[in-house]
Amino acid sequence: MESSTSSAIVIEANEELHEPLIDLEGFLKGDEAATVNAVKLIREACTTHGLFQVINHGVDPDILNATEVGLYPFFNLPMSRKLSIHRKVDELRGYSNIAHADRFSDLSIFKEMINTLEYHFKGETDSEVADYFKNVVGDDFVETGWVFQKFCEAMRNLSMKIFKLLTIGLDFEDTFNCENFFEDGFAFLRSFYYPVCSDSSKTIGSTSPPPHCDPTSLTILHQGQISRLEVFSNEKWYYVKPQPGALVINIGDSLMALTNGIYKSCLHRHVAISDKNRISFAYFINPRKDKLVSPIEELITREGSKKYSDFKWEDFSYFTQRIDRVDTTTIERFMKFLALSDTNKWLLVSPKYI
């Protein structure tokens, strides 16, 4: 069921994506004209390539700065200590010295990754992420755990504001509200460390994972000022220029399905940087695991057809983690998978992931 991914070297993009950069200050203050403009820009971006950046987003700069430095001590630990919380094949959380290495063993190493515990929007505790750092990473990372707890809370609040703008952009606030759909959802945070890559040929063919669309609903990326994120649009690759204080927002497959294909899942890739270490954080937002993701009825009527079958996030997540891989056409293969009989589905489960 897996699609093949070429390991050929791909030339880096040399044109900047004008994604756009959206100032949320007016929207957050209730300014109607600013809200209309923000919605217009977001809709244009999400119906073309699925990515935009936001500034004046209401997230405390001190929290963002603290996340950038908080995990350097962990990634500088001896490998034996890091491997003590190694990510298992069938789990999202844990450390990996090759992100997704269990499914991309042919690719070269150029990043390390640590996943925090899932952060539930209506969780039973207000210290879920902090507890993970304390209990799993270690007592010497308690302070870091609270930094990331605050980071996750801030990202949750921002995501609800983004969902509000996305709903307005679909022009049916009275019949469907993205905020309500995701209010009992959850997120998981991935922290990536990219050490200096002396071999400049380690671009797309050697990245991990290869060019892909996120299977999740919405991603908020804190990339700092050292990044090489590239987006595919209009049949070519563009680089995303880091903006001071900005956060990158991109649409994922699940939100594309929910909007019946109106909002486009962002096809992107990450390229190795040759001369600097860097850390970035990706906050992936999902509906509640057992909630049905079904294209919105009004959009089906508006578009004239239902483009995606109904599914639950827990099934899509299982598909991407245990049966298939995340790449450029994951959602299409998942739709074909859903159409199979239960017997045929189980025949496709590779022993490698059981």
Residues that are catalytic? 278
| CA gap 23, 172 in Å, rounded | 23
For the record, the structure tokens of 99 come out as: 């992100």
| CA gap 312, 291 in Å, rounded | 6
Is residue 260 within 8 Å of residue 296, measured between CB atoms? yes
Encoded amino acid at 348, one letter: L
HSE-up (13 A, CA, CB side) for residue 131? 9
| Cα–chain center distance at 183 | 18
| CA gap 18, 243 in Å, rounded | 12
| CA gap 2, 330 in Å, rounded | 9
Other C-beta atoms lying within 10 Å of the C-beta of residue 254: 25
307: buried, middle or exposed (CB in 10 Å: 19+, 13-18, 0-12)? middle
